Amino acid sequence: MSSLPRRGAVAAALSLCLALAACGGGTSSKYDGSTVDGQVLMDATAPVISSGAVCMYAIANGQGNPLNFSVSPPTGTGTLLTPGCISTDAQGQFSQALPNFYGPVLVQITGGSYLSAATHSTQSLTPLAATNASLQAVVFVGGGSTVNVQVTPLTTIATAIANTMPGGLTMSNYAAASAKAAAEFQLGAIDIANTLPVAGDAQDKVLFGIEQYLALPPGSSDDAGGADLLNWNTGVLAQMSSDFTTSYNAINGTSASFSFY
């Protein structure tokens, strides 16, 4: 998969959504749904391989898959659109038809494994139920076309940020949160929701830094499973900034400084 949704297509979908006042999501025979094509990456050359772990949830009232914390471990309570969760292939790619659906969809990867650039060994992602730190992204479905989505640690952070905004998980909030995540990680105008990382580029280096943070101290000791970073815990931004700076510089051989806000 070499291309992802273009801004114009997303903008057109948003305009149509506003015109029909249907942004909350839902099903209707009036709409044809979409086929969702996606790819899950930890960095440009590290796909996430999963077995039955890609789940797509309808977003309604700004929520996609809220966790039920009254049970242990917490479980997802959202409306699952896929017939069970599906798998990625060896390139981290997946495809699923979502017929008769119109609206925003939350894509979650609960678990999976990847070849870490930090350890040069296979690493497992923490399951969603343990820390709510699964990889996530948001995509707009409807109109009968094929839509594309990329899922990375950066889209996960953008999803977490969007979830805290008034209105929750809407496409406009996700776009704004993606821009904020890009700014936090000094990526300028890169559209992290729709631009695949290229080996050695700025986005790829940030993803390397996140892999280092997840696998090795100080990140792995201060933030087990990356729950704070991937959920963008604003209560520990200073610690996250310090740990990520150390991780980024260690794996990229740089002297950058990050100060999350």
What confidence tier does 33 reach under pLDDT thresholds 50, 70, 90? confident
For residue 116, tell me if it sits in a domain. Answer: yes
For residue 240, tell me if it sits in a domain. Answer: no
Which domain covers residue 120, as residue numbers?
Answer: 7-184
For residue 258, tell me if it sits in a domain. Answer: no
Q: How does pLDDT run across 192-238, given as a tens digit for each residue?
A: 999 999 999 999 999 999 999 999 999 999 998 899 999 999 999 99
Name which of 52, 22, 50, 56 is nearest 37 in CA terms.
Answer: 56
- Of 7 and 88, which is predicted with more confidence? 88
Judge whether residue 249 has pLDDT over 90.
Answer: yes
The type of residue at 2 is S
For residue 124, tell me if it sits in a domain. Answer: yes
For residue 209, tell me if it sits in a domain. Answer: no
The type of residue at 28 is S
Question: ∠ CA 211-214-216 to the nearest 5 degrees?
Answer: 95
Which pLDDT value is given to residue 18?
35
Which pLDDT value is given to residue 64?
83
- Of 71 and 5, which is predicted with more confidence? 71
DSSP 60-91: BTTBSS-EETTSSS-EE-S-B-SSS-B---TT
Determine the average pLDDT of the residues in 122-142: 80
* For helices 7-20 and 171-184, angle between their N-to-C axes, nearest 10 degrees: 150
Total structural domains in the chain?
Answer: 1
The whole-model pTM stands at 0.85
Judge whether residue 24 has pLDDT over 60.
Answer: no
Q: Are 151 and 88 in contact (CB under 8 A)?
A: no
Q: How does pLDDT run across 68-116, given as a tens digit for each residue?
A: 767 666 667 788 998 889 999 999 999 999 988 899 999 999 889 999 9
Judge whether residue 40 has pLDDT over 60.
Answer: yes
Which pLDDT value is given to residue 13?
43
Which pLDDT value is given to residue 15?
40
Judge whether residue 22 has pLDDT over 70.
Answer: no
Q: What is the largest CA-CA distance in the chain?
A: 55
Mean pLDDT is lowest, of 30-39, 46-55, 89-98, 170-179, for: 30-39
For residue 41, tell me if it sits in a domain. Answer: yes
For residue 259, tell me if it sits in a domain. Answer: no
Q: How does pLDDT run across 144-201, given as a tens digit for each residue?
A: 889 999 999 999 999 999 999 999 999 999 999 999 999 999 999 999 999 999 999 9
Which pLDDT value is given to residue 125?
87
For residue 261, tell me if it sits in a domain. Answer: no
